[in-house]
Amino acid sequence: MTSELHSRLLAFGLIVAGLMVFLHKTVTYDYPIFPDATRTVWNLEILIEFAADNRPVRIETFLPAQSDDRELVDEQFYSGPFGLRLDQEGEGTNRKAIWTYRYPEGPKVLRYRTTLVEEGRDTPLPESMRREGRSVDLTFETSLEQQAFLVWMSDLRRRSADKETLVDLMLQEVFSPTFSDEVAALVQPLPAPLGRLELARTILETQGVPARIANGVILDDARRRAETVSWLEYHLDGKDQRYFPIGKPSVFFPIWYGLEELVVAEGITELSTQLSLQPARLVGGSMLANGAGSKDPLLTLFSFEELPLTTQLVYQVLVTIPIGILILVFLRQFVGIQTLGTFMPVLIGIAFRETALLTGLLLFSLLIGLGLALRFYLERLKLLLVPRLAVVLVFIVLCMAFITTLTVDSGFRIGLSISLFPMVILTMTIERMSIVWEEYDGAEAMKQGLGSLVVACLTYLAMTHPQVEYMMFNFPELLIVVMGLCLLMGRYMGMRLSELRRFRELSRAD
């Protein structure tokens, strides 16, 4: 039994080593074991990719501006060979990074990263916005615009009681899905919400209300590709106001003000800008603060903090997968649940990440059901195996497209999330299930299908549990512990729970 002893020693060695690092971090450096409940710190990364072809290049991008009220921790620039200049405009509202290079060649990447504190509706507007402005007179390009402005304003004034109701009424009409001829004539041809925002802003200024257009990100969840949104900030009757064209986010972060785009580039092709956001609770607020990471090589070895944010977000998912696998191994070796395919339930569990549990279950069952029906029909056509699989796969894509369009129209957001639902996994599940169905019976196929779903649900719940995510991401050394546990389970020779049932006739004492 040398292999027995060998594997046990290795398993205990791994578990002890992993736990040692874990204890070292928690006891010596006081790393928090629980995620911070108040998640007010976020990591923001702006990643700019482009192709250069030997022409002078100039990339300008807005950065969050620093001020007395706002502190940006840990700003990092990745510029490569590019020259970098920071430019704070005017009164310190907008800040720009300007990257330049004379003769760059090939694909290039520029990166900016910072940690920021989220802002909300109570965040005060700067003092300069609080001063009651004087009414600005508008200049119009055509008499038609002037006419429209005058008619609309007198109409608004007639229907409102004071400045506040006038502003409310104005905003409501500017942002209503269908607007009157007057508004239509005044809206400028700018990208989607900006035209209307700019119109609202000018109208506010004619009323002596200081206003500006803010552009930034909404902080609701970790995102690898965050969209920038624009909103209106104004100060009326001693109160700070923010108007969001879509939704009412409670926490957000403005990056720049005005009508310009985030990134302006010259001399390049194929520009792609990616904003990513991650709540810093996953990186661990206090770890950042005590800065222990730089001293101890053990800490930097078992940490994802140094990685770019986009990569960190990928690892945040990857490191939880072994937990799912651990559960799967347990369910197979100790409980004896039968599933279709070895690791397929975990793959399905990962797919649920895109759809959330209930929708995922629903979609999965629906698609499997439809696919099985098609598979039984195809049986009569007598096709070869691989083309048959291909037909099922195309059918699955069609069904997904159909479900997506159907649900988008009816207002559900189910369809939008399934785009990455793994079709190949679905197709193989259908094929396996139909073979089991033929060779045994429907009951056996259902049993294995349900078994897979149960395991998928359990692994999904474990993999997405905030505490599990937090622990695995901040203490990657636990992966070694997981490996040791799997080794131990690999030598389990006792009965499975299902076998107690199977051999129940023999287990009666006689």
Q: Where does this chain bind other proteins (CB under 8 A)?
A: 333, 336, 382, 384-386, 435, 439-440, 491-497, 499-500, 502-509
**How far apart are CB 267 and other proteins at their closest, in Å?**
53
Non-local CB neighbours of 28 within 8 Å, separated by 6+ positions? none
Largest CA distance in the chain: 105
CA–CA separation, 43 vs 45, rounded Å?
7
Non-local CB neighbours of 365 within 8 Å, separated by 6+ positions? 453
Closer to other proteins by CB, 7 or 180: give it: 7
**How far apart are CB 5 and other proteins at their closest, in Å?**
14
Closer to other proteins by CB, 1 or 27: give it: 1
Question: Contact at 8 Å (CB) between 91 and 102?
Answer: no
CA–CA separation, 151 vs 201, rounded Å?
18
**How far apart are CB 384 and other proteins at their closest, in Å?**
5
CA–CA separation, 494 vs 484, rounded Å?
19
Closer to other proteins by CB, 177 or 494: give it: 494
**How far apart are CB 443 and other proteins at their closest, in Å?**
12
Closer to other proteins by CB, 12 or 503: give it: 503
Rg, C-alpha atoms of the chain: 30
**How far apart are CB 4 and other proteins at their closest, in Å?**
9
**How far apart are CB 491 and other proteins at their closest, in Å?**
7
**Which of the 8 DSSP states describes residue 207?**
T
Closer to other proteins by CB, 196 or 375: give it: 375
3-state helix, strand, coil in the chain (%, to 5): 50, 20, 30
**How far apart are CB 510 and other proteins at their closest, in Å?**
9
b/e 326-339 (16+ beta carbons within 10 angstroms → b):
bbbbbbbeeebbbb
Closer to other proteins by CB, 79 or 338: give it: 338
Closer to other proteins by CB, 2 or 139: give it: 2
Angle (nearest 5°) at CA 411 between 410 and 415: 85
Closer to other proteins by CB, 176 or 507: give it: 507
And the tokens for 319?
């490191």
Question: Contact at 8 Å (CB) between 72 and 64?
Answer: yes
**Which strands form 57-63's sheet, in the order they lie side by side?**
83-88, 95-101, 57-63, 263-266
**How far apart are CB 432 and other proteins at their closest, in Å?**
9
